[in-house]
Chain A
Amino acid sequence: MSEQIEKVSIIISKGSLDGIYPGLIMANGARAEGIEANLFFTFFGLDAIHKKRHENIKLASVGNPGLHLASWLGGFPGVSSLMTHYMEHHMAELDIPALPEFIEMIADSGTPLYACKASVDLFGMKQGDFIEQVEDIITVGEFYEKAGGGEIIFT
């Protein structure tokens, strides 16, 4: 067998449902395989760990060709919510947890969650804005230290 992956550090930089889930699935899957994992949230990805926002993450319905929906239609009020609702329903059927539960589960698996300092400063946020599982607000340099000896995945 080829060399095994021992550790991954995953960056989540987008704030849409379709931007956040893939990174979470990669992190959760890593832990399930016994691989060490870190999660680093930057830019709009911070919404995934924001106390007031993480329960209302929406699917991007504009500029998302994967939805196979006319662009002009995607911008109508309520379309993003409707598509999100549809997607969440479908995910629940497949036993994929809702975002808050998923993040809690990943934290419980021993994956530390970090917020990016530059983005936190940019958006005028503070530690108290984040869910309690967020371990720390760290700089990009600290991120690289924590990622040492492992693979980095950017999403």
Chain B
Amino acid sequence: MPEKNITGTTVEVGEDGFFLHPEQWKEEMAPELAREQGIDPVTDRHWQVIRFMRKQYLEKGEGPSVRVLGKTSGVPIKELYQLFPKGPAKTAAKLAGIPKPRGCI
């Protein structure tokens, strides 16, 4: 499996760039991961979504879908797509160091 160096720490990621071990993630890695996705700077609104993703994952074992994010993260769907144009749930999961959410909706 590919390894990746982020802010001086080596982590294991899958072929698609998602963390294989969410426990290797640290908050200070998010800005560098965000820059790779074309997001700079990481604003408070981005953080709200990233932290929500991570919390949901740790509680439920899976990251939320865009619909769930829109309903419960406090950031509406329109804004989610402005913050994460390449797909809110997918991008935020990558920045939060959790696996890609697999919901179809």
Q: Please, which residue of chain A has its CB at the minimum distance from the CB of B82?
A: A110
Q: A67 on the interface (CB 8 Å rule)?
A: no
**Is B35 in contact with chain A by the CB < 8 A criterion?**
no
Query: Is the C-beta of B70 less than 8 angstroms from some C-beta in chain A?
Result: yes
On whether the beta carbons of B77 and A109 are closer than 8 Å, the reply is yes
Known contacts A95-B67, A108-B76; A31/B81 CB under 8 A: yes
- From B19-27, B41-49, B50-58, B83-91, the one touching the partner chain is B83-91
Do B67 and A33 have beta carbons less than 8 Å apart? no
CB of A34 within 8 A of CB of B85, answer yes
Interface size class of chain A, counting residues whose CB lies under 8 Å from the partner chain:
10 to 19
B79, closest chain A residue (CB): A108
Which of B65, B78, B91 makes the CB contact (< 8 A) with A95? B65
**A96 interface contact, C-beta 8 A:** yes
B83, chain A: closest CB distance, angstroms: 12
With A105-B70, A105-B77, A108-B77 as given contacts, are A34 and B87 in contact (CB-CB < 8 Å)?
yes
CA distance A29 to B67 in the complex (A): 11
The reply to whether B87 and A105 contact each other, CB–CB distance below 8 Å, is no
**Residues of chain B contacted by A34 (CB below 8 angstroms):** 85-87, 90-91
Q: Within residues 31 to 54 of chain A, which ones have a CB less than 8 A from any CB in chain B? A: 31-34
Q: What chain B residues lie within 8 Å of A31 (beta carbons)?
A: 66, 81, 87
B 55-105 contacts with A by CB, 8 A: 65-68, 70, 76-78, 81, 85-91, 103-105
A11 to B103, CA, bound (A): 23
Nearest chain-B residue to A35 (Cβ)? B87
Interface pairs (30), CB distance under 8 Å: A25-B105, A28-B66, A29-B104, A29-B105, A31-B81, A31-B87, A32-B66, A32-B87, A32-B88, A32-B90, A33-B87, A34-B85, A34-B86, A34-B90, A34-B91, A95-B67, A95-B103, A95-B105, A97-B67, A97-B105, A105-B66, A105-B67, A105-B77, A108-B70, A108-B76, A108-B77, A109-B66, A109-B77, A109-B81, A110-B78
Interface residues of A (CB under 8 A from B): 25, 28-29, 31-34, 95-97, 105, 108-110
The 7 closest A-B pairs by CB, nearest first: A34-B86, A34-B87, A108-B77, A108-B78, A32-B87, A110-B81, A33-B87
